[in-house]
Amino acid sequence: MEMEMSLMQRLSQLLLSPSKNRTFLVATVLLLSAIGFGSLIFWNQRPDYQTLFSNLTQEDAAEIVSKLKERKIPYQLSSNGGAILVPREQVYEVRLALASEGLPKGGGVGFEVFDRTSFGTTDFVQRLNYQRALQGELSRTIRQMKEIEQARVHIVTPKESLFLDEQKKPTASVLIKTRSGMTLAPAQVEGIVHLVASAVEGMEPNNVTVVDTSGRILSKKNDTTLLGQLTATQLEYQRNIEEGLKKKVQGMLEEVLGFNKAI
């Protein structure tokens, strides 16, 4: 209370002081008022930004920023560049406009690559574009799983051989990044494996490898051979049966041909 009284007394003294001091005080008050009023107007007119897209790949982010610059739409980038913000009142309009142009693509080109294919394209380029498109479409499909943030699919198609026994099978690898705090169940990994294998002609599930961004192999190879399916006990049982059948056949032959004459 005493401090407030002291300030009031000083202010009164300044106002009652000679005109020079009083003029300086009035000018200072007016200047501070103008600065405060200007700041208030600035913050009121400053656009309120809202997220347009998040969890974008670098390719998608770069293309969306380019489109925003073309349309002269103000934007902001998050610290890691994975999210783009635009003024709140333009969010839905911009989303619809970009969606009509196929953005965001989700980390790779899809079958829309054939929308720009010219008639002079060679068969090799057509096959290459098809492989790129298939990889992109599979990546987009896998990203639909709520646990997955990013996904990339790489397909290797061997050259065709004139001899069937020398023809190699196509292979694929899937790199996934799960969302924070989420993991994939073994059944989901198996689903990804079969999804990719079913989309590529001649590909077997055993030739699909799923890896996460930590370098861990999530997919398991299934040994489809007979030895891989049988346990040690089952193999022993099988050998005993085979040995028993062998002795029975040997005995029957010896009855007809004579002892030690059957091989």
Which CATH superfamily, name and number, covers 49-107? Hypothetical protein rpa1041 (3.30.70.1530)
User: What distances in angstroms separate CA 180 from CA 56, 184, 219, one per listed residue?
Assistant: 15, 12, 20
As averages over each run of 10 residues, the pLDDT of the chain (263 residues) reads 54 54 59 62 65 78 89 83 84 83 66 57 78 85 87 86 72 92 91 91 91 90 51 67 77 70 59
Domain 124-222: assigned CATH number: 3.30.300.30
* Residue position matching structure tokens 């989303």: 95
Copy the structure tokens of residue 255: 């009855």
Identical topology for domains 49-107 and 124-222: no
Contact 53, 64 (CB under 8 A): yes
Listed by start position, the domains of the chain span 49-107, 124-222, 223-262
